[in-house]
Amino acid sequence: MNDLLFDFTLDKSKKTAFINREFDAELSLVWDAFTKKEILDQWWAPKPWSSKTKAMNFEPGGRRFYAMVSPEGMERWSIQKYTSISPKTNFKFLNAFADENENPDLPGSDWDISFSEEKGKTKVSVAIYNESLERMEKMIEMGFKEGFTMTMNYLEELLTTLSKR
């Protein structure tokens, strides 16, 4: 484990999730990790899921079309359409779930990712806005889906512990 800053808050009144995290690396490297598909695919999907970027052009109006792939090979596609890019400072995109033919399931959520460097560490701030609480719930549901294997492993451990009592 490390002592780098990590905080996560879900503000239902603002319909926004905020995630702040520090990385022990210079800003340009962290920026690359968020904006180059070769690096993104190495970390974007929480294991045991994997990330597969089919197409990505990182420019305003461009998009990343990618899938989260489950250990069983099930693909969950999403499109991130870049709405604004300020190099090494901030970028924004509209995220929508999609089918494998790149048809989006709108409305999506608005993502705003900011970067700042201090003393060799880079802070990343992610804000995810959903226009309705329903979408927020759905996003959390989808998040749950991605984390499902993890949850189940955790629950099975818990159940084993409980049954030993």
Question: Closer to other proteins at the Cβ: 8 or 107?
Answer: 8
Q: Provide, rounded to whole angstroms, the least separation between the CB of residue 126 and other proteins.
A: 8
Number of other residues whose CB lies within 10 A of the CB of residue 8? 10
Among 15, 16, 21, 69, binds other proteins (CB under 8 A): 21
How many positions of this chain bind other proteins (CB under 8 A)? 42
Residue 90's DSSP bridge partners are 86, 114
Among 11, 14, 29, 87, binds other proteins (CB under 8 A): 29
- Using CB under 8 A, which of the segments 4-12, 59-67, 85-93, 106-114 binds other proteins? 4-12
Q: Which two tokens stand for residue 73?
A: 């090979």
Q: Which residues of the chain form beta strands (DSSP E)?
A: 6-11, 16-23, 50-56, 63-69, 75-86, 90-98, 104-118, 121-130
Using CB under 8 A as the binding rule, whether residue 79 contacts other proteins is answered as no
Using CB under 8 A as the binding rule, whether residue 33 contacts other proteins is answered as yes
Whether the CB-CB separation of 47 and 32 falls below 8 Å is answered with no
Among 3, 59, 118, 141, binds other proteins (CB under 8 A): 141
Whether the CB-CB separation of 65 and 96 falls below 8 Å is answered with no
Q: Helix axis angle, 133-146 relative to 148-164, nearest 10°?
A: 70
Kindly list the residues in this chain that would bind other proteins in the complex (CB under 8 A). 2, 4, 6, 8, 10, 17, 19, 21, 23-25, 29-30, 33, 39, 42-47, 76, 126, 137, 139-148, 150-152, 154-155, 158-159, 162
